[in-house]
């Protein structure tokens, strides 16, 4: 019996190309998170002003610091993305 000729196997790269989200999706997601953390910052600020217990006062101050820094970081990222978007046009 004659041997069948086999064609050479072509190797295909098995890399899955993952597309980055569009800038509109990025900005929208970061804006939602910014509003979320800003709302918690304001909530902790109000609760700090309302409470008179020293333990709760310290807890709310800590929460203000944490949510304030996160909100500030997200605001900076949001402004950078908006600036990049404006520079592309």
Find the Cα–Cα–Cα–Cα dihedral 23, 24, 29, 31, rounded to 10°: 100
Mean pLDDT of the 33-53 span = 94
Read off the pTM.
0.69
Residues in contact with 78: Cβ distance below 8 Å, sequence separation at least 6, in sequence order: 27, 30, 31, 34
Q: Is residue 12 very low, low, confident or very high in pLDDT (cuts 50, 70, 90)?
A: low
C-alpha to C-alpha distance for 60 and 81, rounded to whole angstroms:
31
Residue 6's contacts (CB-CB under 8 Å, 6 or more residues apart) are none
Q: Which residue has the higher pLDDT, 43 or 19?
A: 43
* Residue 13: predicted pLDDT: 59
């Amino acid at each position: 019996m004659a041997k069948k000729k086999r064609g050479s196997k072509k190797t295909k790269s098995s890399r899955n190309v993952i597309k980055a989200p569009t800038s509109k999706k990025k900005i929208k997601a970061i804006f939602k998170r910014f509003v979320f953390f800003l709302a918690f910052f304001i909530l902790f600020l109000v609760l700090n002003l309302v409470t008179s217990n020293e333990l709760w006062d310290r807890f709310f101050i800590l929460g203000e610091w944490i949510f304030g820094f996160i909100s500030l970081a997200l605001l900076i990222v949001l402004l950078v993305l908006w600036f990049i978007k404006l520079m592309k046009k």
